Amino acid sequence: MTELEKIALKNSLKLAAQQLIEQRITAAKTLINNAQEAANSEEKSSVGDKYETARAMGQLESEMHSKQLAQQVKELALLHEVKTDVVYQFATMGACIECADLTFFIAAGLGKQTINGKLIVFLSPQAPLAKLLQNKKAGESFVFSGKETLIESVY
């Protein structure tokens, strides 16, 4: 793979990550609105506790989705800092790390995703595995979950 192809791949991975995070942000906003509407539309019954319980549950659900939204917004901001126009020689934020059976992209914590028919593991720079990979080069290996894995290339 040429340097331009490596950069193009990383750019497409970053764009895919951005789209996934933006979808999650949209979904979280929808869920927050739905929870708020459900809490507000709960009719007051003769048993006031039922009404108060439903409103409280709606409020808790809204708060949970608000935390998820805040996390996704933070993840998107971090993703915008990722430089994909550099071919790295060592594992760092913005690098792709190819191993025998997996490719890792240190940019955003999205887990395993299939992008253009290729399985990519998106790692947050704060993830334990990303920290383990930090500064590793092609030809080096690492042990994770009791399994030793050889790094075939880094870019």
Cα(134)–Cα(115) distance, integer angstroms? 23
pLDDT score at 58: 73
> Does the model's pTM come out above 0.75?
yes
Cβ burial 79-88 (10 Å sphere, 16+ → b, else e): beebebeebb
User: Is pLDDT at 139 greater than 60 in this prediction?
Assistant: yes
Cα(129)–Cα(112) distance, integer angstroms? 13
Whether 129 and 144 have beta carbons less than 8 Å apart is answered as yes
What are the sequence ranges of the domains in the chain? Answer: 3-80, 96-154
Split at pLDDT 50, 70, 90, the class of 51 is: low
**Interval 104-132: pLDDT, tens:** 999 999 999 999 889 999 999 999 999 99
The encoded tokens of residue 126 equal 């704060």
Cα(17)–Cα(107) distance, integer angstroms? 8
Can you tell me the mean pLDDT for 91-109? 96
Whether 54 and 39 have beta carbons less than 8 Å apart is answered as yes
Cα(150)–Cα(101) distance, integer angstroms? 10
